C-alpha cells in the first residue's frame, strides 16, 4: 500500500508498484479527480487499474458528533467511487468513548454500502 495524494510522483508509484493505495481526500470530488489521475498513470504504465485496492484517509465531524446517519450518507459517494475501506482519524477526545459511541454503530451500516 502506498498512501498519499501527490499526482505526479505518489500516484504514479501506485500505478507502477502498489496493490493498494490510501488516498487523502476531503471530498468525493477530490477523490474522483485523484482516481482519474491514477487511471491515467495506470494506462501509461500498462497496468489494470482494477487491480489496485482503493482506501481513503478521512475525518468526520459528523461521526465525532455521533451522527451515524450523517456519516453513512457522507461515506456513500466514496463507496460509489470504489473505496472499500475508510481509515478514520480519531478525534482528540476519549478514543474508547468514540469507538463505543460513534464508530461501532456505524460499522455495519457503512460495510453495507
pLDDT for position 6: 95
Q: Which residues contact 25 (CB under 8 A, 6 or more apart)?
A: 5, 31, 34, 56, 58, 78
Instruction: Locate the domains of the chain by residue range.
Output: 2-111
What pTM was estimated for this model as a whole?
A: 0.83
pLDDT tens sequence across 45-103: 999 999 999 999 887 788 878 888 999 999 999 999 999 999 888 877 778 888 888 88
pLDDT for position 21: 96
pLDDT for position 51: 96
pLDDT for position 41: 98
8: burial class by Cβ within 10 Å (0-12, 13-18, 19+)?
exposed
The predicted model gives 4-20 an average pLDDT of 96
2-111 CATH choice from 1.10.260, 3.40.1350, 1.20.272, 3.40.50: 3.40.50
pLDDT tens sequence across 17-47: 999 999 998 899 999 999 999 999 999 999 9
Amino acid at each position: 500500500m502506498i498512501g498519499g495524494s501527490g499526482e505526479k510522483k505518489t500516484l504514479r508509484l501506485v500505478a507502477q508498484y502498489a496493490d493498494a493505495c490510501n488516498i487523502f481526500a476531503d471530498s468525493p470530488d477530490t477523490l474522483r479527480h485523484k482516481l482519474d489521475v491514477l487511471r491515467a498513470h495506470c494506462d501509461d504504465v500498462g497496468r489494470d487499474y482494477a487491480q489496485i485496492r482503493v482506501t481513503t484517509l478521512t475525518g468526520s465531524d459528523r461521526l465525532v458528533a455521533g451522527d451515524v446517519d450523517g456519516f453513512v450518507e457522507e461515506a456513500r459517494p466514496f463507496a460509489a467511487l470504489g473505496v472499500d475501506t475508510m481509515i478514520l482519524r480519531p478525534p482528540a477526545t476519549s478514543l474508547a468513548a468514540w469507538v463505543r459511541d460513534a464508530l461501532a454503530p456505524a460499522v455495519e451500516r457503512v460495510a453495507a454500502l
